[in-house]
């Protein structure tokens, strides 16, 4: 992964495919002018690109591209997930915050891609910048709720002790409650593994929006410091 805090970052895994273009953009940068993206509601809804042109034409938290049009999602601390299918050369952009992930949006995206001709072994995934366990505190009541989610085959990853992020460029989040530190990127990875996608075909970019990314990247940091935040667009398209 090559990362630049002024121009966003890219996935080495997706770049290795040779037929896709993509970006996890910096906060505040606009998406491509022809990108399709939905009105996001932390839902499990995934649609085709034409259904969200013009952008936000309908509610969805995942968009599948079946042409060369870019598909995009916007995030602040949630997971931006970009997927490429090497069989049909379809692509997808998914917005997966904790609520949307538990609602099944990643499962919906993979199922829709498979319905269009993909297979688990033909899907390659990059999980971009998001809040990491070094800064994502949840109340223990939420951990109990997550543990009861019928979609999860294994327990989610969390720690009672806040992990130290040696790569942080600004202070990590301070504990606000007697909670635990939750690993949202690993939850996304866990769900994708459940769909049968090989581990070698899932890349975590491991960039925490709270303590590592550019200023304005984190909604949660803004709630703590009133520092402002701007949406981060992530997009992917098939190269003609």
Tokens of 21: 């273009």
- Which pLDDT tens digit goes with each residue over 3-17? 334 458 999 999 999
Instruction: Please count the CA atoms within 13 angstroms of the CA of 175 that sit on its side-chain side.
Output: 12
Residue 86 has pLDDT above 80, yes or no: yes
- Dist. CA 141–CA 130, nearest whole Å: 22
Q: Concatenate the DSSP letters of all residues of 52-105 into one string.
A: G-STTSSB-SEEEESSSS-EEEEESSSEEEEEEETTT--EEEEEE-HHHHHHTH
Tokens of 81: 């997930």
Q: Concatenate the DSSP letters of all residues of 32-55 into one string.
A: PTT-B--B--S-S-EEEGGGG-ST
Predicted pLDDT of residue 240: 75
Spacing of C-alpha 43 from chain mean position:
14
Domains of the chain, with CATH numbers? 3-130+185-238 (3.60.140.10)
- Dist. CA 204–CA 218, nearest whole Å: 18
Tokens of 137: 């505190």
Instruction: Please count the CA atoms within 13 angstroms of the CA of 23 that sit on its side-chain side.
Output: 16
157 by DSSP, 3-state: which?
A: coil
- Dist. CA 45–CA 172, nearest whole Å: 33
Whether pTM exceeds 0.85:
yes
Region 164-172: mean pLDDT is: 97
Q: Which long-range contacts (CB under 8 A, 24 or more apart) does 221-227 make?
A: 221/135, 221/173, 224/173, 224/174, 224/176
- Which pLDDT tens digit goes with each residue over 49-62? 999 999 999 999 99
- Dist. CA 20–CA 53, nearest whole Å: 21
pLDDT band at 227 (very low <50, low <70, confident <90, very high): confident
Tokens of 203: 């890349």
Average pLDDT over all residues of the chain: 95
- Which pLDDT tens digit goes with each residue over 90-125? 999 999 999 999 999 999 999 999 999 999 999 999
């Amino acid at each position: 992964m090559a990362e630049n805090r002024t121009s966003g970052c890219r996935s080495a895994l997706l770049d290795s495919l040779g037929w896709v273009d993509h970006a996890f953009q910096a906060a505040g940068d606009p998406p491509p002018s022809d990108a399709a993206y939905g009105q996001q509601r932390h839902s499990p809804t995934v649609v085709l690109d034409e259904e969200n042109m013009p952008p936000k034409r309908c509610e969805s938290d995942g968009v599948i591209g079946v042409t060369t049009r870019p598909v995009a999602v916007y995030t602040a601390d949630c997971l931006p997930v970009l997927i490429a299918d090497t069989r049909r050369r379809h692509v997808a952009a998914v917005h997966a915050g904790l609520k949307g992930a538990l609602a099944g949006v990643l499962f919906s995206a993979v199922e829709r891609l498979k319905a269009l001709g993909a297979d688990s072994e033909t899907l390659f995934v990059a999980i971009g910048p998001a809040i990491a366990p070094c800064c994502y505190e949840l109340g223990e009541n939420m951990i109990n709720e997550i543990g009861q989610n019928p979609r999860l085959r294994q327990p989610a990853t969390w720690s009672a002790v806040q992990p130290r992020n040696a790569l942080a460029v600004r202070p990590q989040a301070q504990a606000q409650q007697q909670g635990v530190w939750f690993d949202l990127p690993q939850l996304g990875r866990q769900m994708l593994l459940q769909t049968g996608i090989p581990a070698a075909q899932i890349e975590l970019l491991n960039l925490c929006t709270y303590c590592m990314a550019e200023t304005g990247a984190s909604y949660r940091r803004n709630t703590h410091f009133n520092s402002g935040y701007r949406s981060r667009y992530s997009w992917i398209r098939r190269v003609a």
